[in-house]
């Protein structure tokens, strides 16, 4: 049996997926709901990073304390966690229903190589609060559940020895 037709079919599929932006790395944004793979070139703060091919990108559904200008309690810890977890790593991302914010940042959900949603990890660790802005609410319930757990278990921001007032 010849492998020629199989290889040709796989090549056609790869080209089609690349044209849709599903494979990533080509600078095009994926269709809504599709994911693409890229690398995190730099972390700006706890909820903003530079993604190769997308530029400055804001994590959807999370709000970490500020570290630039008006520094806020637990901001440095959130920023360090994001930097340690994402910087220089390959990630999958999904653009929100609204792809860019008013500052031109891409609005993204980010997954680690092991399949964990990083946006949820920030909240679960107590590094961020939830931030719901329609129409980007795809994972809002999942994020709310992580926030309830973090508060109940007094993690990070919610620890009585930190900032919760």
Instruction: For residues 2-31, give the mean pLDDT.
Output: 46
Rounded to 5 degrees, what angle do the CA atoms 66, 158, 153 make? 140
**What b-and-e string marks burial along 108-134, b requiring 16 or more CB atoms within 10 Å of the CB?**
bbbbeeeeebbbbbbbbbbbbbbbeee
Is position 7 within any domain? no
- Residues in the chain, how many? 165
* Catalytic sites, residue numbers: 58, 66, 105
CA 7 to chain centre: 34
Share of the chain above pLDDT 90, in %: 66
Is position 99 within any domain? yes
Mean pLDDT of the chain: 83
Is position 71 within any domain? yes
Read off the pLDDT of residues 126-155 as tens digits, 9 standing for 90 and up: 999 999 999 999 999 999 999 999 999 999
3-state secondary structure of 51: strand
3-state secondary structure of 147: helix
Find the CATH number of the domain harbouring 151.
2.40.50.90
Read off the pLDDT of residues 21-47 as tens digits, 9 standing for 90 and up: 333 333 455 555 678 999 999 999 999
Does the pLDDT value for residue 7 go beyond 80? Answer: no
83 token code pair: 């930097």
* Residue 157 per-residue DSSP state: G
Give residue 136's pLDDT: 97
Give residue 82's pLDDT: 97
Is position 16 within any domain? no
Is position 95 within any domain? yes
Closest CA to 43 of 74, 7, 89: 89
The whole domain housing 135 covers: 32-157
Higher local confidence (pLDDT), 93 or 35: 93
Residues ≥6 apart with Cβ < 8 Å to 30? 20, 21, 22, 24, 36, 94, 95
Is position 87 within any domain? yes
CA 165 to chain centre: 28
Share of the chain above pLDDT 70, in %: 73
For the chain, the domain total comes to 1
Radius of gyration of the chain from Cα atoms? 18
Does the pLDDT value for residue 10 go beyond 70? Answer: no
């Amino acid at each position: 049996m010849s492998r020629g037709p199989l290889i040709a079919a796989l090549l056609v599929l790869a080209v089609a997926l690349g044209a849709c932006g599903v494979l990533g790395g080509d600078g095009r944004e994926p269709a809504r709901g599709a994911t693409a793979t890229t690398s995190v070139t730099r972390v700006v703060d706890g909820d903003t990073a530079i993604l190769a091919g997308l530029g400055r990108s804001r994590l959807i559904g999370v709000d970490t304390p500020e570290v630039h200008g008006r520094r806020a309690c637990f901001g440095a810890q959130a920023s360090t966690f994001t930097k340690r977890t994402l910087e220089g790593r390959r990630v999958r991302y999904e653009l929100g229903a609204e792809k860019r914010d008013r500052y031109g940042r891409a609005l993204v959900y980010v997954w680690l190589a092991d399949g964990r949603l990083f946006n949820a990890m920030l909240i679960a660790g107590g590094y961020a609060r939830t931030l719901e802005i329609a129409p980007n609410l795809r994972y809002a319930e999942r994020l709310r559940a992580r926030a309830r757990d973090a508060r109940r278990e007094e993690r990070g921001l919610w620890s009585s020895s930190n900032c919760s007032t």
